[in-house]
Amino acid sequence: MSASFDSTEHPHRRFNALAGEWVLVSPHRSKRPWQGQQEEPEQEHRPAYDPTCYLCPGNSRVGGEQNPKYESTYVFNNDFGALTPDVPTGGLNEGGLLRAEAESGVCRVICFSPRHDLTLPQMTVPAIRKVVDLWVEEFAMLGARPDINYVQIFENKGPMMGCSNPHPHGQIWAQRTVPGEPAKETTQQLAYFQEHGRTLLADYLKIELEKKERVVLENEHFVVLVPFWAVWPFETIIISRRAVQDITQLTDDERTALADAVRRLTIRYDNLFNISFPYSAGLHQRPTDGQEHPEWHLHMHFYPPLLRSATVRKFMVGYEMLGDPQRDVTPEFSAGRLREQSEVHYKGVPAE
C-alpha cells in the first residue's frame, strides 16, 4: 500500500482471522445518497401479557401444548423444529457430486421472561443472569448426548431478522454435525493454537485492548468490540477475558458479567436509533464431540442489519453473494458510534 493510503477513506480488504475469509471495506460509499428501500420500524407498544401469544405464560402453543404459568425463564422443545432426533441414518452419493446425508438433532425455544413487552436491554442483570444460567444448563444437557456434536444457542430479534413472535425468546439447535460457521472457526483457532500455544482470540483481544479503537465497552470478565473484520455495519463480538472453551466453564462472577455485557450492549443498540434494535446473535463455543478443544475461546456474535437509521438496512446482495462480504463504514466508525451511546435505555427500564 502507498504511504498515502487512508483506511478511513480508501477501499481495502480486511482478513477475518476467526473465519479465514476476507471482507471488502469501502468507506467512501457511505457518502452516497440513499434512494433504496426504507424499512418500517417495529411497533413497540406491546402489553405485558398477550392472550394470543403462544409464548406467554398459561397460553396454548400452535402445536396444542399449554405453557405453564412460568414466572422466570421457560424452555421447551420447538413444536416445529428444523431438526428431529428420530431421523433414520442414510443418505446418497452419486459420483461424489450429488451428496446428502441424514441429519438429526433437537430444537429448543427459550423464553427469556414471562413479560411479553420486554427485550433483553429492558431486563435487569439478575433477570438476564437467569437466561445465562439456562444457556449453561441446556448446553450441558444437550452437549452430553452422544448424538449431539454441536449446540448452537442464538436469538433472532425483530421481524427484520425473521422473528415471527415479539415475545422475548431465543433458540437452541443441537445437532449431529458441526455447522459451517463454527467449523470454520474450529479450523482457524486450531491452526493458531498449534502454532502459538495460545488461543487466537486471547491474542486478538490483547491487540484490541491496547489500541482501544474498536472497543465498545468492557467489564471485569468480558470485552465488547466491533471486530476488525466486521461485515455488518454495527456488528459486535463479546469475548471472555479468560480463555474458556464453553459457557459451562464460567465462574459465578463470569456468568453475571456476561449478563451485564449483554444488557449494556443491547441498550446501546436500542439507543443508537431510538428503536428496539434488530439483530441475530449467538454464542460460539467448542463442539461437544468428546474432544477437549483447547483451541476454542468462548465468544458471542451480534449481527444487526441496520446501516444508517432505523429505516435503512444493509443488504447482502450482488457482490456480497457472488464475491466477498462488503461494508460501507469502517469498524472504527461503528465502534465510536456505539461507544457514545448512553447506557440508560431511551425508554427507561420498566419494572419487572
Alpha carbon distance 244, 263 (integer Å): 21
CB count in 10 Å sphere of residue 134: 21
Burial of 13 (0-12, 13-18, 19+ CB in 10 A): exposed
Alpha carbon distance 298, 283 (integer Å): 8
Query: Could you tell me the CA-to-CA distances from 252 to 6, 227, 249 in Å, in that order?
Result: 44, 27, 10
Tens-of-pLDDT digits for all 352 residues of the chain? 456 888 888 899 999 999 999 999 998 765 554 344 545 556 568 899 999 999 999 999 988 899 999 999 999 999 999 999 999 999 999 999 999 999 999 999 999 999 999 999 999 999 999 999 999 999 999 999 999 999 999 999 988 888 889 999 999 999 999 999 999 999 999 999 999 999 999 999 999 999 999 999 999 999 999 999 999 999 999 999 999 999 999 999 999 999 999 999 999 999 999 999 999 999 999 999 999 999 999 999 999 999 878 878 888 889 889 999 998 889 999 999 999 999 999 988 665 5
Alpha carbon distance 16, 208 (integer Å): 14
pLDDT recorded at residue 33: 44
Active site residue 297: no
Length of the chain in residues, anyone?
352
Burial of 21 (0-12, 13-18, 19+ CB in 10 A): middle
Of 116, 167, 169, 297, which is the active-site residue? 169
| pTM (whole model) above 0.85 | yes
Alpha carbon distance 253, 50 (integer Å): 35
pLDDT recorded at residue 338: 97
Burial of 145 (0-12, 13-18, 19+ CB in 10 A): middle
Q: Give 151's strand partners.
A: 174
